Amino acid sequence: MNVTEILSQIDARRRAAGLRQIDLADRVGVTQGMVSHWLTGRHSISARDLDRLLEVVGRELRTGPRR
């Protein structure tokens, strides 16, 4: 799974939870504009910020060898 797919899943979970982008932004400590740029692929996301987004939507990133 690549970062774009992970961000798409984060956005789907955000919507399902009834959260707005501003809600995610407040919880991660960035602007709503930055969240929008991440979710649309206009700006790269750091591993730290990706981990924060995942935490907000109740997920975690597990890494390991490719199958």
Burial class for 46, CB neighbours closer than 10 Å (0-12, 13-18, 19+):
exposed
pTM of the model: 0.81
pLDDT single digits (tens) 23-63: 999 999 999 999 999 999 899 999 899 989 988 888 755 65
Q: Where are the domains of the chain?
A: 3-56
Number of helices (H), then strands (E), belonging to the chain: the values are: 4, 0
Is domain 3-56 in CATH 2.40.30.110, yes or no? no
